Structure 1
């Protein structure tokens, strides 16, 4: 059972069937004038319309990219390059995706100042913190809509209102929320919004950036004038066609899938917490994605847990797939104020519409056995038992965890 749909999803059969002709028969370059090219151009614009419709945008506001990371880079660097004479201050959070955080670190090396707002123990920022951070130099606010590790949903609509009142550009990374909850660019008061195909049962290597009409960005990739001159290079027609179809399907099935996924997620969380001692859910329990739950288990190591689950046929993760090769504690979970030892004992389960075939009881049994096995080998667990289930580094009342 595949339980890592926040990392990537399986391409749906409907999407695959729509893509197939554009690999062999309809292989024309959409910038050419003859019939083969015109057919590709027609397919390109149909996909653009489908993406736009799915987020309540206009087709001319959609720019196709290679994925969410490029979309984030284009939004942030594009605004910074265009508005640096107005100011060099950007506001974001401590729990952004690396595509945003590392882009901002890059800009800092060129003299930009970035304010990284803290999140609280529920993983959500406070709107007033955003407002207090705004200066006369602020040109951009960039906030992830729904977090890719813990699933918390940020109050972006309220932040967008503030940004609009102050005349500040507002960028949202909606890669994880699109297809799981409503994403409406008008309701969210957003100027730029990043999307990714492979998170919604579309192909990899395709994404889009919504750019509100009137918002100007500097290009990252210069070329032959494709995508309104904003993103040069011959378009990936098969991938874009698949992305457009995936957007159409995600929009029409949104409400049914959201309700189903939330029900499975809640049942899973309840059974895990009731079955396994010292198990916790990370992040807010209400304002979160319907398909994602992030657990932590005291005194175990998450990578070992993943391998034991994999051996039993369950594929999950300890956090973001983008940083799964790093041995450092998750910055997202650390930002919640958790002890680094506890952070390393995390498990992310992310569901898909196909998860209705998920045998929750069997999985919880497998998970409980795996956690118990790892705790038997863990000196930390024995230490916790010595202190009545609470790991105490000093063994006295001065320990903050006691």
Structure 2
């Protein structure tokens, strides 16, 4: 929603009773203890940017940029880039690829000027890949509301250069 980490909202329908995670004071009708973080609450309120983005078709725009990045990477060198997600039914902002005979962390380190990771935060500690070589070659690229066609070109060029200069 474009709000800072730690900011959240919860809609509770009438009649539903919640058990507090932390017991203590009577804030929020006894559902939470502690003092509310006013700065995060204000930031969450201002995060209506997400709703505006959805209304303006941002997911389709970002998915098109993601697909353009994938096509650029897959074109050079041809046949060496493998998509690590289903072709359809995937997040519009994330591209996870493996490049044959390459280590993702080396590509990431060599691709100056781009921010990438070799996995998602939720996979930390889970080291049971479907194919070890392919998993070690994985590079995860995320796009956002400010991503542009120029960013895609820069990222593709940097990743291709780092892959071919190894």
TM-score by length of 2: 0.85
Structure-2 residue corresponding to 1:367: 159
**In the alignment, does 2:112 pair up with 1:317?**
no
Larger Rg: 1
**In the alignment, does 2:72 pair up with 1:274?**
no
- State the secondary structure of the residue aligned to 1:208: coil
Q: How many corresponding residue pairs?
A: 164
Question: 1:357 deviation in Å?
Answer: 5.3
Paired residues of 2:101 and 2:137 also in contact (CA < 8 A): yes
Structure-1 residue corresponding to 2:52: 252
Counterparts in 2 of 1:322 and 1:358: CA distance versus 1, 3 Å: farther
Instruction: Give unpaired runs (5+ residues) of structure 2.
Output: none
Paired residues of 1:296 and 1:343 also in contact (CA < 8 A): yes
Structure-2 residue corresponding to 1:240: 41
Taking only aligned residues, the RMSD between alpha carbons, in angstroms, comes to 2.2
Question: 1:323 deviation in Å?
Answer: 5.5
Paired residues of 1:260 and 1:353 also in contact (CA < 8 A): no
Structure 1 residue ranges, 4+ long, deviating more than 4 angstroms after superposition: none
Instruction: Give unpaired runs (5+ residues) of structure 1.
Output: 1-199, 375-402
Structure-2 residue corresponding to 1:293: 95
Paired residues of 2:101 and 2:133 also in contact (CA < 8 A): yes
Structure-1 residue corresponding to 2:86: 284
TM-score by length of 1: 0.38
Paired residues of 1:268 and 1:360 also in contact (CA < 8 A): yes
Instruction: Kindly report which structure 2 residues correspond to 1:2-401, keeping only aligned pairs within 5 A, or say none.
Output: 200-246=1-47, 248-255=48-55, 256-276=57-77, 277-309=79-111, 312-321=112-121, 329=127, 334=129, 338-356=130-148, 358-374=150-166
Q: Which has the higher strand share?
A: 1
- State the secondary structure of the residue aligned to 1:204: coil
In 2: Cα distance, 1:215 partner to 1:281 partner: 43
